[in-house]
Chain A
């Protein structure tokens, strides 16, 4: 099989195996150890780790550097890239550097608006949008050309990811938007966190109706909730996240909130594993990375597949 990037994630997904990814948020500081520790903790339980890019518009160690640090401890990164902070020159330049440093998976995002973060008076860039970012990277990979038409020297082996949020509005258009992202170049999709499984199932029905599950690998996002406070916070403050009242009640009534949070997460994984067209799970355990190995084990997703080291490109 001809690989686009030869990444571990691409090999697992294209061989039809169920993938597991998780998230590794870089520190608000200069310590590589923070990232190395998260990498070591998760490496045997995940196929790749997403390194977030100034998530929620809060300045952190860059996703490119974080991805390189993960590689140093033999963890495959998914480098997240937002269009909020860089124009087309910086994007293409960072991609060249990322490829040179061995990064093979890139997740293309708009980014949370700068208003949310710790520099709310910053000028947002948005030279191109996330759809056009996918197009740009696909163009760089497949044509070996910059947007300008100039040739790129060397290969640009990338496995391109995009986000999809079935819980944002307008609901019906979300499938059209997914189709556009696939057309733009998405090889895999990581969805917004699922708490409302019935709504997600309805969305996936629409995805399959358009045959989109045949064209892209969809990894369903989940978040283990640590406390009822966190559940309420997400319901009230994270736009585009649907947290059902029933879930909040369960967390509020639980004797051991953490245990209940894991239980809920496992129930959701159990449901999404059964959905036709779902090729993996993406676990976003924000500030609770320690819980991920246990969840992967209890969800019956161990051992993780070992793919050959030989790059397919």
Chain B
């Protein structure tokens, strides 16, 4: 899933200053699971904005709503009237959702309330970590199901570098060295010989360095 993190309140305050009718719009999918942009976060953020405006002696009208998926045009029409009635939409969706809203409502200012952080998973309650970099050419078959591109600090394909100590990365004792994990796992699977081969230079053109990515499936297009 996509993991997000709410922006600092001060940054949000600055973004919405001058607007008095707000729609705070959450997304009930990925970012709700990472407690960044679901209905609960919409309600809390709306209360904070109301309180802040009250203390500043400023009027504000806030509508709170969340839709199933802001990244899907299909779901965006349901908030048409709410969007029409506000000056600005503060979206708590990921960057995809914010842009879908901006595309669907070209006359409306759509602001991001969260930072879209990574594609990852919930390790345990309150802890999320990155798993995939969306590089467009999956290598997990060769690396024991652990991604060196997303999880090695240097994205090395022929790791580990000389900074791997006691299973930890040189950048921090809190960061696992994914190459240690890859070696441990391949050893357990009796596939360590996979690492005798040099991993060839990667084609980054499919990872976004070849320009914005788009998939067209002619068998599915009308």
> A183-201: contact bitstring with B at CB < 8 Å (1 yes, 0 no)?
1100000001000000000
Known: A113-B170, A135-B201, A179-B196. A170 touches B157 (CB 8 A): no
**Given A88-B201, A169-B164, A240-B164, also A180-B170 (CB < 8 A):** no
Using A115-B171, A173-B183 as known contacts, say yes or no to A110 and B198 having CB atoms under 8 A apart.
no
Number of interface residues of A (CB under 8 A): 34
Q: Does B122 contact A (CB under 8 A)?
A: no
Within A101-143, which residues are at the interface with B (CB < 8 Å)? Answer: 110, 112-113, 115-116, 124, 126-132, 135-136
In the complex with contacts A113-B163, A173-B195, A126-B180 CB distance below 8 A: no
A257 to B201 Cα, complex, angstroms? 47
List the B side residues contacting A184 at CB < 8 Å.
198
Q: Which residues of A contact B160 (CB under 8 A)?
A: 168-170, 173, 177
Q: In the complex, what residue of chain B is closest to A240 when comparing beta carbons?
A: B162
A67 within 8 A of B: no
Bound-state CA distance A128–B204 (Å) is 10
Residues in A with CB closer than 8 Å to B51 are none
Most-contacted residue by chain A among B154, B156, B167 (CB, 10 A): B154
Q: Which of A130, A136, A170, A240 contacts B170 (CB 8 A)?
A: A240
How far is A165 from B163 in the complex, measured between Cα atoms in Å?
Answer: 9
Q: Which residues of A contact B166 (CB under 8 A)?
A: 169
Does B68 sit at the interface, judged by CB under 8 A? no
Q: Which residues of B contact A179 (CB under 8 A)?
A: 196
Cross-interface CB contact of B154 among A110, A170, A173, A240, cutoff 8 Å: A110
Whether A126 contacts B156 in the complex (CB less than 8 A), given A179-B196, A180-B198, comes out as yes
* CB 8 Å contact bits of B124-162 with A (1 = contact, 0 = none): 000000000000000000000000000001111111111
Q: Which B43-80 residues sit within 8 Å CB-CB of chain A? A: none
Cα-based distance from A128 to B165 in the complex (angstroms): 23
Asked whether A168 lies within 8 Å of B201 as measured between CB atoms, the reply is no
Within 8 A of A (CB), among B181-207: 183-184, 195-196, 198-202, 204
B165 in complex: contacting residue of A127, A147, A169, CB < 8 Å: A169
Given known A147-B201, A176-B196, contact A169–B180 (CB-CB < 8 A): yes
Given A131-B158, A163-B162, A239-B165: A113 and B198 interface contact (C-beta under 8 Å): no
Q: B171 contacts which chain A residues (CB < 8 A)? A: 113, 115-116
- Among the listed B154, B196, B198, which residue makes an inter-chain contact with A126, where contact means beta carbons less than 8 Å apart? B154
Q: Are B159 and A129 in contact (CB under 8 A)?
A: yes
Question: What separation, in Å, do the CA atoms of A242 and B221 have in the docked complex?
Answer: 60
- Asked, given contacts A129-B158, A169-B180, A173-B183, whether A240 binds B165 with beta carbons under 8 Å apart, the answer is yes
- A126 and B165 form a contact (CB under 8 A): no
Q: How far is the CA of A176 from the CA of B159 in the complex (A)?
A: 11
A292 CB to closest chain B CB (Å) equals 23
CB-defined A-B contacts under 8 Å, sample of 22: A84-B154, A88-B201, A110-B154, A113-B154, A115-B171, A124-B155, A126-B155, A126-B156, A128-B202, A129-B154, A132-B198, A132-B199, A168-B163, A168-B164, A169-B180, A170-B180, A170-B184, A179-B196, A192-B162, A239-B162, A240-B163, A240-B170
Q: A165-B162, A169-B166, A169-B180 are known contacts; what are 4 more A-B pairs with Cβ within 8 Å?
A: A115-B171, A163-B162, A170-B180, A240-B164
